[in-house]
């Protein structure tokens, strides 16, 4: 079973509200039943007390009319022999008369005494009657048929305010009416609470949705928060104080992220230029060293009378020119990498321009697959050529030692973007290299400076485009460039 703390906040609010309604209904039903039982008990106790007092008053009346006061205790059974049943019929209750020692003297139904009639009162009952301040005792017991009886025992007072006997009144506690009323009330209560439960479910659903709506908005914004782009602040007009505090904390965090991103970008730019300067210095030193050695060697061995001085001079010049060309190539590569796309944009047929860019390659395994003959977009012709030539050149280098090489160049449009794809079946890109593929100076080739793909990325992003790739090692690699048509 899933722990409650694993549920979403919305689900927990929903469950809590339903739980409160159900518990409240159970508690109210329990209190109602308890209250009904208490009222029934109190009603029967008071009714028994009233009946008992009325019976005692009737018996006292008969004694005062028919007896000599000095012989009330002795004549009590004979005096009540005829009148006891009559009094019992009037009040619809059995009446038992006991002597002061607890023995049964007379019962209203001697011949058919019920099982609630005690022949002799027990010593415990006698003690409780004697020592009770009111000299009255109520005992509850059940008959053979399961009915509950309350038997009330108290002194019967004579003419001289002295006890002359003990009267016992067994009272059948009939709760039929109260039980019927209780069932009817509980039925009505159940209907009301079913309606309340339905309303609570609906309210819980919408209330939990309303409460968590702001939290979901904050959560969505947090998931979208990155350090590499501008993040929007959250503005909520009808949020609670707690949600407002959370939003304020988020907006404050956004400000801190923006500040940190600016500082980080500045630091990265400074670091990138330092690294670039080191790379430029390193690449220039490489041809300078052989140039220095060549000059030193020529100076040391120069002999103007040497019959081969002409060929040696030509060889010397060729070596210097070769190293100078290398340095020029290095300077051009760094210049091209740093150069941003030209502002001289024009509407071009991308299909045609890509074909012109591919004409400089003579490899037979390069195929061009445009979707249509004409796709117009606004871009600089030179920068578009640089994108295509760099991607195709990289693909050619990746096909080294490939038995059946192919390069497929595709151009197509989708919605408001133009796509240029270059696919090859070369060695692919290792998983650990995927995060560094667009970094300057990174290269997997034995030669080159690793500026081609970073330069392409700079050009594409300057046009608000995007460059992505998918690669399977030793299977295929596809670079995809998307550029907006307008």
Q: Which CATH number covers residue 307? A: 1.10.287
Residues 324 and 359 both lie in one domain: no
Q: Is residue 212 part of a domain?
A: no
CB 258 within 8 A of CB 227: no
In this prediction, residue 402 carries a pLDDT of 84
Residues 305 and 371 both lie in one domain: no
Residues 122 and 260 both lie in one domain: no
Q: Is residue 218 part of a domain?
A: no
Contacts of residue 217, defined as CB under 8 A and 6 or more positions apart, other chains included, come to 234, 236
Least confident of 48-57, 283-292, 348-357, 369-378: 283-292
pLDDT band at 474 (very low <50, low <70, confident <90, very high): confident
DSSP-derived 3-state class of residue 451: coil
Q: Is residue 100 part of a domain?
A: yes
What's the pLDDT tens digit per position in 432-466? 877 777 776 545 444 444 466 887 888 888 888 89
Residues 368 and 333 both lie in one domain: no
Residue predicted with more confidence, 422 or 176: 422
Residue predicted with more confidence, 300 or 109: 300
Contacts of residue 283, defined as CB under 8 A and 6 or more positions apart, other chains included, come to 330, 449
Contacts of residue 167, defined as CB under 8 A and 6 or more positions apart, other chains included, come to 52, 55, 56, 59, 95, 96, 97, 98, 153, 154, 155, 156
Residues 33 and 152 both lie in one domain: yes
CB 322 within 8 A of CB 340: no
Residues 74 and 143 both lie in one domain: yes
Residue predicted with more confidence, 391 or 12: 391
CB 55 within 8 A of CB 93: yes
Give 387's DSSP letter.
H
Residues 38 and 102 both lie in one domain: yes
Question: Hey, CA dihedral for 439, 445, 446, 451, is it positive or negative?
Answer: negative
In this prediction, residue 447 carries a pLDDT of 43
Greatest mean pLDDT among 155-164, 231-240, 357-366, 404-413 lies in: 404-413
**Length of the chain counted residue by residue:** 486
Residues 370 and 428 both lie in one domain: yes
| Bridge partners for 470 per DSSP | 478
In this prediction, residue 369 carries a pLDDT of 92
pLDDT at 486 over 50: yes
Which of 287, 315, 338 is a domain's end point? Answer: 338
Q: Is residue 480 part of a domain?
A: yes
In this prediction, residue 226 carries a pLDDT of 66
Q: What is the mean pLDDT of residues 51-74?
A: 71
Q: Is residue 24 part of a domain?
A: yes
Which of 338, 366, 387 is a domain's end point? Answer: 338
pLDDT at 337 over 60: no
Could you list the residue range(s) of the whole structural domain that residue 323 is in?
Answer: 241-338
> What's the structural domain count of the chain?
3
3-state helix, strand, coil in the chain (%, to 5): 55, 15, 25
| Bridge partners for 172 per DSSP | 149
In this prediction, residue 449 carries a pLDDT of 42
Residues 311 and 398 both lie in one domain: no
In this prediction, residue 129 carries a pLDDT of 82
Q: Is residue 187 part of a domain?
A: no
pLDDT at 69 over 60: no
Q: Which CATH number covers residue 371? A: 3.30.565.10
Residues 290 and 394 both lie in one domain: no
Residues 161 and 48 both lie in one domain: yes
Q: Is residue 206 part of a domain?
A: no
Q: What is the mean pLDDT of residues 183-200?
A: 87
pLDDT at 110 over 50: no
Q: Is residue 439 part of a domain?
A: yes
Q: Which CATH number covers residue 99? A: 3.30.450.20
Residues 166 and 81 both lie in one domain: yes
Rounded to a whole number of angstroms, the distance between the first and last alpha carbons of the chain is 56
Per-residue CA distances from 122 to 99, 115, 127, 172, 379 (Å): 12, 15, 9, 21, 117
Which of 305, 338, 371 is a domain's end point? Answer: 338
């Amino acid at each position: 079973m899933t722990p409650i703390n694993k549920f979403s906040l919305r689900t927990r609010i929903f469950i809590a509200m339903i739980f409160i309604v159900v518990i409240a209904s159970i508690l109210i039903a329990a209190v109602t039943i308890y209250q009904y039982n208490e009222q029934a008990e109190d009603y029967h106790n008071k009714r028994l007390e009233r009946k008992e007092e009325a019976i005692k008053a009737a018996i006292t009346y008969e004694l005062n009319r028919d007896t000599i006061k000095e012989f009330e205790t002795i004549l009590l059974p004979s005096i009540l022999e005829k009148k006891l049943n009559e009094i019992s019929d009037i009040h619809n209750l059995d009446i038992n008369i006991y002597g002061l020692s607890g023995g049964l003297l007379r019962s209203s139904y001697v011949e058919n005494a019920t099982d609630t009639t005690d022949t002799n009162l027990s010593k415990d009952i006698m003690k409780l009657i004697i020592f009770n301040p009111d000299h009255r005792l109520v005992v509850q017991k059940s008959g053979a048929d399961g009915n509950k009886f309350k038997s009330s025992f108290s002194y019967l007072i004579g003419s001289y305010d002295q006890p002359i006997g003990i009267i016992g009144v067994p009272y059948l506690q009939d709760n039929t009416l109260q039980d019927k009323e209780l069932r009817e009330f509980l039925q009505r209560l159940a209907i009301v609470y079913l309606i309340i439960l339905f309303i609570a479910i609906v309210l819980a659903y919408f209330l939990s949705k309303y409460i968590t709506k702001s939290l979901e908005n904050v959560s969505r914004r947090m998931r979208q928060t990155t350090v590499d782009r501008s993040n929007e602040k959250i503005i909520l007009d009808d949020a609670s104080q707690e949600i407002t505090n959370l939003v304020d904390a988020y907006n404050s965090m956004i400000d801190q992220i923006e500040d940190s991103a600016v500082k980080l970008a500045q630091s990265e730019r400074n670091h990138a230029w330092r690294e670039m300067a080191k790379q430029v210095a390193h690449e220039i030193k490489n041809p300078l060293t052989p140039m220095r050695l060549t000059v030193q060697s020529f100076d040391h061995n120069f002999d103007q009378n040497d019959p081969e001085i002409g060929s040696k001079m030509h060889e010397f010049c060729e070596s210097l020119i070769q190293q100078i060309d290398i340095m020029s190539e290095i300077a051009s590569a760094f210049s091209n990498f740093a150069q941003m796309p030209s502002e001289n944009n024009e509407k071009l047929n991308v299909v045609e321009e890509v074909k012109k860019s591919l004409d400089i390659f003579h490899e037979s395994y390069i195929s061009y697959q445009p979707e249509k003959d004409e796709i117009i977009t606004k871009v600089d012709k030179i920068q578009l050529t640089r994108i295509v030539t760099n991607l195709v050149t990289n693909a050619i280098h990746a096909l080294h030692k490939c038995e059946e090489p192919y390069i497929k160049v595709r151009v197509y449009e989708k919605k408001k973007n133009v796509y240029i794809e270059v696919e090859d079946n070369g060695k692919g890109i290792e998983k650990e290299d995927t995060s560094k593929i667009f970094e300057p100076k990174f290269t997997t080739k034995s030669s080159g400076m690793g500026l081609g793909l970073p330069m392409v990325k700079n050009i594409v992003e300057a046009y608000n485009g995007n460059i992505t790739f998918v690669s399977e090692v030793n299977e295929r690699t596809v670079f995809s460039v998307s550029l907006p048509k307008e």
